[in-house]
Structures are given as C-alpha cells and as structure tokens.
Chains A and B, each alone.
Chain A
C-alpha cells in the first residue's frame, strides 16, 4: 500500500515508509548526541541497520535527511509542549512545566541540551530551508508560552499590562541559554537557575 513520498515524488510502500522512519529516527538520535556535523551518513546507515542504497533511495543527501530530522524532532517537541503548556493558567502550572524540563534534562546531567536548540545552532548558518523550519517551530513554541501567559492575564493572576509575547521570548531565551550553559558545565544547575530567575521575573507581574 502506498503511503508517504520518496524524493522523486513516487509514493512509498508501507515498508518503505517504515525504513525511512527508521533512518530518520536513528539520525535524530545520533545528531542529538554528537551534533549534526559529527554525524556522517555512514553512522546513520550503521545505526539504522539499513544500506547505502536504501538511504539514498529516500534522501538526496545529508541536507534532506537533516530537514526530516528537524521535522521529526519539531513534531515530538511540539507534542510534548502542547501537552505541558496547553492548559497552563496559573503560576503553579508554569512551575510544573519548568520542573518537567529540568527533571528530563537532569537524567543526562544536562549533557545534550535541547534537541531543537541544538539543531538550530548546528544548521541555521548552513541550510536556509532548515533554518526557516526551525524558525517556525520556535515561533510556535513561543506562541504556546505567550498563550499561557495571556491565560494568566485573563484570570487576573498577572497584570494585563505585561507584554506576553516579549515575556515569552525572554523565557524561551532563558530556557535555551540554560540548556547551553548546563551542557557546557555538564550540570543542570545553570539551567535551573536561569529558568527560576526568569519565572521569578514573570511572577513579579503578579496582581496583589
């Protein structure tokens, strides 16, 4: 049965789609752990248990594979964040969002950073298509944060005069920067401190 498309526009069989998914998943894992530049197509072939001909059947080269990785990682992160932020309407809810991110990163002692942020830093300067995809994903993620803040404004938790979009950008930057500092220090501490300080600033807009 035909399902997704191959690079030349031909429809893939279910088996072909499964192979392609396996390649993308393996590539995503390798690129998360060792970076895009350090991940070769041979690495991906070995990790996915596929062959060179199978890989080139689905991808023109590394750039097209990286774009599929961006799409996969972006989808995973947005699903997670929609679940975590979609109903946040209290300061406590923002703290629970923060706790989940910290606990998840603590499992690997901050070693690998944010999967989406890492891709952004690795490919933004080299691939305009991937850069645009990443820009849209980060905009969508920030929109989730801004909507959560607007819900806090609607229910009177924080003052209506606060600029939700600006605060969301500041909070996202603190998060991404926290991930990078934790990665450099191999310690979750800086990420925890950055997020806590950013949330404390948002809490300063609390209505008394």
Chain B
C-alpha cells in the first residue's frame, strides 16, 4: 500500500504543480476521474481504503496540502472568499464519496463528476456567495 500512496502523491505533485488556470484544473480533474475508472490504478486502490492507519492519515494530509496549494495559486493574490484548505478537503471528500456512490450506482462516472462539479465550482467561477454568476 505504501507504493500506491507514493505513486499517487508523485503523480499529484507533478500534475498539480502545472495547474495555474481553470482550464488546467479541468484537465487535472478529467485525468483523475479517468484513473478512478481504472480498478488497477493506484488512485482506485487508495480511494477505496477504509482502514484508519497513520500511513493513510499522513498520505491524505499530504494530498490535501498539494490540493490546497493549487487552490491558493488559482485564487491568486486577491482577498480570498474561498478557503484553500477547506476547498482541498471538499475536493478529497468528493473523490472519496463520489467513488463510494459510483461503486453501488449504475453510472460509474456520474456521482464523481457531480461531486467534483460541486467541489470545484468556486474555482471555475460558477457562483459566488451572493448567488450570481462570476464573470
């Protein structure tokens, strides 16, 4: 399992470090969803774990940190109404929870995509706090 954790973190470090625009986060998202559709991918292995071990907790903390830094970069230097750390937690929750729903549903991609649509909405500028669409 250590290998799977290391593989995912290596891929995420590589791909997320190149995400600087909403278009690039969409490409990252498409790639990760593709990985989760492959039962042999290290992403599938790590997201399907349910045991609570120090190793898994540490892995999730590192992944969250990579995602938080990416969110911070995407939001830029302006005053942030979006919390990068909490957004990173929501993205991780979307990947894990979306996968759980995919495993019991008839549409393998649907739940993960719905979850990521919600998690990434603030980064894609879908809605701001007042409910109006962000230009």
Q: How far is the CA of A167 from the CA of B117 in the complex (A)?
A: 9
Q: How far is the CA of A75 from the CA of B61 in the complex (A)?
A: 35
Tell which of A9-17, A21-29, A46-54, A131-139 binds the partner.
Answer: A131-139
Contact between A121 and B48 (Cβ–Cβ < 8 Å)? yes
User: Which residue on chain B has the smallest CB distance to residue A139?
Assistant: B105
- Whether A147 is near chain B, meaning CB under 8 Å from some CB there, is no
Contact between B52 and A186 (Cβ–Cβ < 8 Å)? yes
- Whether B131 is near chain A, meaning CB under 8 Å from some CB there, is yes
**CB within 8 A of A197: which of B52, B60, B86, B96?**
B86
Within residues 78 to 133 of chain B, which ones have a CB less than 8 A from any CB in chain A? Answer: 83, 85-87, 89-90, 92-98, 100-101, 103-106, 110-112, 114-115, 117-119, 121-122, 127-132
Q: How far is the CA of A181 from the CA of B52 in the complex (A)?
A: 9
**Given known contacts A138-B105, A201-B121, A177 and B114 CB-to-CB distance under 8 angstroms:** no
**CB within 8 A of A193: which of B90, B97, B129?**
B90
**CB within 8 A of B115: which of A131, A174, A190, A193?**
A174
- Whether B50 is near chain A, meaning CB under 8 Å from some CB there, is yes
Within residues 121 to 172 of chain A, which ones have a CB less than 8 A from any CB in chain B? Answer: 121-122, 124-125, 131, 134-135, 138-139, 158-159, 166-167, 169-172
**Given known contacts A180-B97, A183-B52, A173 and B114 CB-to-CB distance under 8 angstroms:** yes
Contact between B60 and A184 (Cβ–Cβ < 8 Å)? yes
Taken residue by residue from 53 to 76, chain B's Cβ proximity to chain A (1 for < 8 Å, 0 otherwise) reads as: 000110010000000000000000
- Mostly, the B contact residues are helix
Taken residue by residue from 73 to 112, chain A's Cβ proximity to chain B (1 for < 8 Å, 0 otherwise) reads as: 0000000000000000000000000000000000000010
Chain B residues with Cβ below 8 Å from A186 are 52, 57
Q: How far is the CA of A125 from the CA of B108 in the complex (A)?
A: 13
Q: How large is the interface on B (under 10, 10 to 19, 20 to 34, 35 or more residues)?
A: 35 or more
Chain B residues with Cβ below 8 Å from A174 are 90, 93-94, 97, 115, 118-119
Chain A residues with Cβ below 8 Å from B89 are 181, 190, 193-194, 197
Number of A-B contacts (CB under 8 A): 150
Contact between B90 and A207 (Cβ–Cβ < 8 Å)? no
Contact between A180 and B50 (Cβ–Cβ < 8 Å)? yes
Interface size on A, residues (CB 8 A): 51
16 CB contacts below 8 A, A to B, read A120-B100, A124-B103, A131-B103, A135-B105, A166-B114, A167-B118, A172-B97, A173-B115, A177-B92, A177-B93, A177-B97, A181-B96, A190-B89, A194-B90, A201-B121, A204-B127
Smallest CB-CB A-B distances: 8 pairs: A177-B93, A177-B97, A170-B118, A173-B115, A176-B97, A173-B97, A194-B93, A204-B127
Given A179-B97, A184-B60, 20 more A-B residue pairs with CB atoms under 8 Å apart are A35-B51, A121-B103, A124-B103, A131-B104, A166-B114, A173-B97, A174-B118, A177-B97, A180-B50, A180-B100, A181-B96, A190-B93, A193-B85, A193-B89, A193-B90, A194-B89, A194-B92, A201-B118, A201-B127, A204-B130
**Residues on A facing B (Cβ under 8 Å):** 35, 111, 113, 117-118, 120-122, 124-125, 131, 134-135, 138-139, 158-159, 166-167, 169-181, 183-186, 190-191, 193-194, 196-198, 200-201, 203-208
